Structure 1
Amino acid sequence: MKAKFYDEANGGFWQSVHTQNLILKVKEDYDGAVPSGNSVAALALLRLGKITDRKEYTDMAEKTLMLFSEK
């Protein structure tokens, strides 16, 4: 998930795998009836970081949450 979708520079997860053929890359930020991929990823990373005691996971989750809290 990190290697294919995570934006190291700004945080958050891209909607699709990195490729040169896309006109527009999107990070979903809206939670409707179905939660966005970024919400699910952030929650999973927070849980995983707590279970494994690996700060890199909680840092990724926090960076994602900070990115979308500014909107």
Structure 2
Amino acid sequence: MLILSRKQEESIIIDDEIEIKVLELDNGRVQLGIRAPESVAIHREEIYKEIQAENKEALKVSGNLVADLADKLKGSK
């Protein structure tokens, strides 16, 4: 992990396309502004983890449906 110190209104640039700027510091909270191409997904960590869990669950359901369909196709022959 790279650790950087930034003051209010200072930025970091990632891969010439993503800018993360410290907008405000207040009572132990940092407000960040992120400028990135629309193709880059940006999520808070807790939302990202929820998305990953939902995707894993969807894969389980999808896998079960495929197995059930395969069984039905075998039985119809």
Structure (1 or 2) with the larger CA radius of gyration? 2
User: Higher relative CO (CA 8 A, sep ≥ 6), structure 1 or 2?
Assistant: 1
Higher helix share: 1
Higher strand share: 2
Is the TM-score greater than 0.5?
A: no
TM-score by length of 2: 0.27
